[in-house]
Structures are given as structure tokens and as C-alpha cells.
Structure 1
Amino acid sequence: MSRLRVGLLANPSAAQGTAHRIGRQVGQLLRLAGISVVDLSGPSASVARARAEEIRDSLTALVVVGGDGTVSLGAEIVAGSPVRLGIVPAGSGNDFARALGLAVNDPEASTRALLHALSRPVVTVDAIEITSAGESTPRHRSIALGNVNLGFDALVNARANRARNGGAVRYTAAMLRELRSFKELPFWLEIDGGERLEVDAAVLTLCSSGVFGRGMRIAPDARVDDGMLELVTVSGLSRPQLLRLFPRVFAGTHTSLDAVDIRPVERVTVGLRDGRALRAYADGESSSLLPLSARVLPGAVRLLAEPSSAIGSEVAQ
């Protein structure tokens, strides 16, 4: 065990500072188990990223403590490398952790799981690569693990992030506020290199895990390790019908509705026909302005986790 070196990156602002406290606790527990721990946390994501990237190749694993945005930051750092990503859920949503069945806000259980996984074969999950596709916008690349929100769901995410109150109340309040004036958005799509399609839709989400908004199962059959993404489109609903849709999304029973279309894709480029500036949100964080392209990166991230119902038993050698 003494040869194992783990980087620890805690988000100081996640869950009103709770993640920072949990990060210290996890670091202490790992050291007690004989692990060499390097604290990479910083006052900002850019500082933490720079610290982690500087020593990444010397690490066995990078353990991130926070919510979905912190998990995405960790995925960007380790994607395509042998370094494994450990997750200690300590944010407001923790949707990727929920999809994997990880213990939430339980640092002792999380640390036990990490220590056990260190001696187990590697499991891998897919990532979503997002790149800006606008001719007049600077090229930007980012990585997500769970979902990319592109429609009403992105607008709700933006409003929720601006709100001061936290938790489920914040997301629900943002949804109700956005719904007051919302109209379907005029998207254009190019799927897997095919011809351009025009779609008017309320919800447009590209999923790997299929879980967002504190437990909404927008794509209940999505898997994080199948080398595919699920493109979810919700069209043709009035505002009251859209409001009634969301309780069904939590249960995953919305997929039988005619208004809901879910299709497997490997790559999609999406923009708005009216040219307005709409920003996508990836794993709860601000991402590129539309138009953008997104594609699956099969098995791009090695997880420090046990196989679960969301991750197949096949392991990377």
C-alpha cells in the first residue's frame, strides 16, 4: 500500500463548504490506511486543475470530493490516462454518484469503497467530449460524464445555479420560474454524420448516465459503459403538460409518452435555427454556447469503484 499515491481534490464551495470538511476527513482516513495522499485542492477550479495536471502522471488515483461539477473536473484531468478517478459525493446534486449507486455524504463508507477498489481490477466508463462548433466562437473542449443539457433543462440549470437557496428547492423553483414564459426551441441537429434535421423541442438532453436534477431519470436505460449516448427529445407538450411530465421523470415512467423520443447516438451537433445565444450545461456546470458538437469517448475514464448495476462486470486489463 505504501507505494500507492493518491491525489485528493476537494471543492471548497460545494454544499456550502461541506465538501471541504469531508475532503479533510477522507484524506486522514486514507493516510491512516497507509496511502500517500497529496492535497491538490485550491481556491478555484483552475488552480486545482493546474496542481493536479502537474503531478497527474505520478498518481495511482485522483480522488475528487464534491458534486457533479467536481467529478467532471476530475474526469477532464484523468481522461485517457492510466490514473483512476475516485469519487466521494459531497455536492448538492451528486447525480453521477447516484447513477453508480455510490454512498452519498458518507465519507467513511466512501473511503472504505475507495480502499477496496484499489486492490480490484479497473473498471472504465465512457465520457462525453463537448466542443464548440460556432464559426465565430473560440474553440473550447470539455468533458462530461453524466449528461449535456441543451433545452429547457439547460435554462433551468442556469437559473438554479444563480439561486441562493440550495438543494431540491432551488431546482424546483427554477423550473417553475422558467416555465412561465417558456416556448419550444427551434433546434437543428446532425446525428452521427447524417443530414441536418429541424426539431422544435422543449427538452433536449444528451445522456451517458441519464440522471440529473437530483435524481431525475431522464434516460432510465442509459449505461455509462456501453460506448453509446442517449439523445432525449421532448416535443409537442403545452406548459401544463410539461410541468406534469417532471414527476414521471423521477420515476422513469415518462418514456412511454408519444412526446418523448430516446435514441442511441455516438455523435451529435446541435444549434438553434434562430441563432440566439443559448448555453449548454454539462453535469450541472456552464458549458459551450450553441452550436456545439458532442461525442462519446468509450471507456475514456478509469474509475476507482466497484462494478455496479450501472457498470458492467467487464474490466480493463
Structure 2
Amino acid sequence: MTEPTIISDVASAEALWNKLVRPVSLYDEWSMRVGFLDSSEYDLHLLTDDAGDSGAMLPLQRQRSDDKLRFIGSPFLERNRGYALPYATGALAELYHSLPKGTLLDDISAADPVCDDSSFRQSDPAYVLDRSSLDYQNRDSLYQFVPKNIRENLRKIGKRVDSGEIEIVPSELGFTLEQIKRLQHDRFGDDSWLESPAIYSAIANLDTVAKSIAASTDCTVMRTSDEIIAGCISMRYRDCFYMLTEGVKSTASLSGLGSYLHYHCMASAFDEGCRLIDTGIGDCGWKERWGLALVPQYLFENPC
């Protein structure tokens, strides 16, 4: 293969994407990907094997300050991958190996057609829950799936929900996002994802993205009589429910609130016909305890 072609304008990048990608997951959709490109710091940097008749593509972004390469939408988006037509997997492997020495790409999906290359190694997995693995019938069947040491916390929060002391209500995207940002900042300070203007803006635009790809946003808040104590934002795409971001007030009197929020959102998704729940990368202290299935993810570091 000759030197890779770099595509940096949005229109050409979208045209190539539409040619090579048959979306399977939410993260395969162009509008989702490009929506999380931080154009204040990054330029598009799609690598392809042949500008005229491309069969392979590595969809990257380049940081202007140091030329660092990452997948488009990193670090927030997951299920990163290269794409290739059946005859061009070799060309995709060459694109990976054409990257500057030491380039590190992570959160690579097992759907990437060349991730079995010896230059890839496993990294933090993603966590999913398949309805069929639970013999799910109703919310109670999911409740029994939760570890015993967590059920008591769920019961306590559940009683407060049943009594009306805590309400769980659907919400608008903008309002939910503001509440989650506040809750995350209270717990994590400036390290919160939503302190990034680009990520905040991208999430704020998810209703528009959803309309363009036949998906929907799902926003929920938990509230008492005087404050919002939790919120979450998810998306439904095909038969999968993607948990994207959440915020929970952390106090001793609300122990188990985060677990209850997860339980409620997952049960609602199953009740409304979703087959799969994608909770994303990282255990965060609950996904393994709930027995969610681990989905391999990979990282690539070019040794050349």
C-alpha cells in the first residue's frame, strides 16, 4: 500500500463513512461520532487506503497541540474501530501499522476486523446485559438478579419511592443534563466529564442526533419535594439501550440510590422491548457485582 490518504473535511469524511460503514451499534453512526468531535482542539484525520476507491478506513482525530491521534469522539465514545470491505482487511491492518511509532488507540471494539492482530491486546472490557440471559419476565425477575447485599439498599429506596417521598419521572434532555452536571461536579469536581464544553454540547444535541438515526433519547430524574437527587441520560437504538451518563447525590441517607437508578433504568428498558443493555466500559463498582457480561475491548500501540 502507498502512503495513506488523509481526509480532513467533514463532507468527504461523511461520504467515505457512508460507503464503508453498515451501522450495527449506536457508535457506528456518523452523526453520533462526529457530534463528539471537539473541533476546538481536534481536526478530522480519517486514514484511507485509496482516496479514489477506498476499501478501508481508520476514523481518527488529530489533536492540534501535539499531533496526538485518537478515534473520533474519544475519550467519551466507546466501541471504536476501523472499517473495511471484505477484500480490504489487509489494507486496514496496514493503516494501523502506518501510524507514528508509539501511537496508542484504545477502547477498540471486538467488531474491528483486524483486532486479532498480535499488535492488539485486551484492555478494559465493556459490560452488557442480555435480556435472554435472565429469563426476564418482569421487574421482579431483574430484582432477583441483583446481589443479595445490594437488595436491602434497593428495598429501602423502593419504599421511599412507593411512599411518594422520592419520585422517578421522565425529563427533558436539557434539564436532565444540567442536573447531572451539578451532581457530578458535587462528587467529582472539575474531573467530571460534563466539565468539558465539547462533551456537554454533544450530549445537549442528542435529541437532534436521535432524530437523524431513528433512535431516541431517554432522560430520567429522581426527586424529593425540594431537590433533584439523581438523573440519567440514555439512548435507545434498534433493540439496545445505551447508558451514557448519570449523576447521583451521595449521602448516607441515600445509600443505594445509584443502584436503584440502574435497576429502574434497566428494568424500564426491558419492559419497553429492548433486548440488550449496554452499560459501557468500566465497572464503577456495580457492573461486575450484578453479573453483567464482559465484552472484550482492545488497544493498539504501534511498535514500528
TM-score under structure 1 length normalisation: 0.30
Structure with higher helix content: 2
TM-score under structure 2 length normalisation: 0.30
